[in-house]
Copies of this chain bind each other. A is one copy, B any other.
Amino acid sequence: MDRPDDLSRIRIVLSKPSHPGNIGGAARAMKTMGFGDLALVKPRYFPDPDATAMAAGAADVLAAASVHESLEAALGDCVLAVGFSARERDLSHPAKSLRESAREILDAALAGPVALVFGNETSGLSNDEMSRCQRLVAIPANSAYASLNLAAAVQVACYELATSAGAHATAAGGSGTVATGGDLAALFAHLESAVTASGYLDAKRPGRFMERMRRLFARTSLEREEVKLLRGMLAAFEKRMRRD
C-alpha cells in the first residue's frame, strides 16, 4: 500500500550541518518514511564514515545526496521552501505547526519539488536562510527544552508528512486518496451554506465557526472518500430542511 510517488518530490535540505552522524541519521529517518531526496548545503564533513555508519540501511539515500555551495542553489527548482524550527520564538515571522502545514506541503508537491529546510544543529536557521523560505513551520515542543536532535527533527517531519499522505497505511488506517485543496474548498463552502441555512450560523455575524472547522479538518488530512461522505450528509440535511 506504499505510495512513494506522493513523497518523491519532497526534498530534505540540511543547511551547514556540523556533525556527519546527523547527516546519516537524517538519511535513515528519511528512508524509513519513504523519502529519498537529500540535499546538503556546505556540510562541515561529507562524505564521512560517521555519516555512513549512522545511515545504516539508507546508504543509497546518502550516495544520492546532492551537495550545494548555497541554500539558494539547493532550492533552485523548488516550488515551495519550508523552514523548520522546534521553537516558534526562534522564527522571524509567524509559523504554523507541522501538522497544520502538512496538507499545504503535500498539495504543493503535486506541482513540483518542495524543500523542507533544517538549519545547523547549534544555531538553527539564520535570518538569511529563513528569508529564502516561503513558509515557516514549528515542530511543537516543550518550551523548557525544545532542542530536538537534527535527525530526530527530520524523522518527525517525514513521519508527519507520510502519515498525513496516508503513504504507509496499516490495515486499520486510512488508505484512500488524500483530498485536494479544491475538494476541501468545496467542502467548506458546502458546510457554510448548510449551517447558514440551519440558522446555526448567522451570515451577518459568522463568528469563528468556519475558522474552527477549517482548523479541525486541517489537522486530519481528509481523504476524498471522507469528503464525499461528509458532503452527502450535508446534502441530506439540506434536502430535509427544505422539504416543507
- Seen from chain A, the residues whose Cβ lies within 8 Å of a Cβ on chain B are 1-2, 4, 25, 28-29, 31-34, 56-58, 86, 88, 94-100, 138-149, 151-152, 155-156, 159-160, 162-163, 167-174, 194-195, 197-200, 209, 212-213, 215-217, 219-222, 225-226, 229, 232-233, 235-237, 239-241, 243-244
Contact = CB atoms under 8 A, between A and B. Distances in A.
Contact of A140 (B57, B97, B169): B169
A170 B140 contact: yes
A243 B240 CA distance: 10
B172 A100 contact: yes
A213 B199 contact: no
The 10 residue pairs across chains A and B that have the minimum distance between CB atoms: A200-B236, A220-B220, A140-B168, A198-B236, A244-B244, A97-B173, A34-B142, A152-B155, A237-B237, A240-B241
Given A28-B148, A32-B147, A212-B226, 18 more contacts: A1-B143, A28-B147, A28-B149, A33-B142, A56-B147, A57-B145, A95-B170, A97-B172, A141-B162, A141-B168, A148-B155, A152-B152, A155-B155, A155-B156, A198-B236, A198-B240, A199-B239, A200-B233
B29 A172 contact: no
A244 B143 CA distance: 54
A27 B156 CA distance: 16
A140 B155 contact: no
A138 B96 contact: no
Contacts of A169: 97, 140
A143 B28 CA distance: 14
A142 B236 CA distance: 40
Contacts of A163: 97-99, 140
B147 A236 contact: no
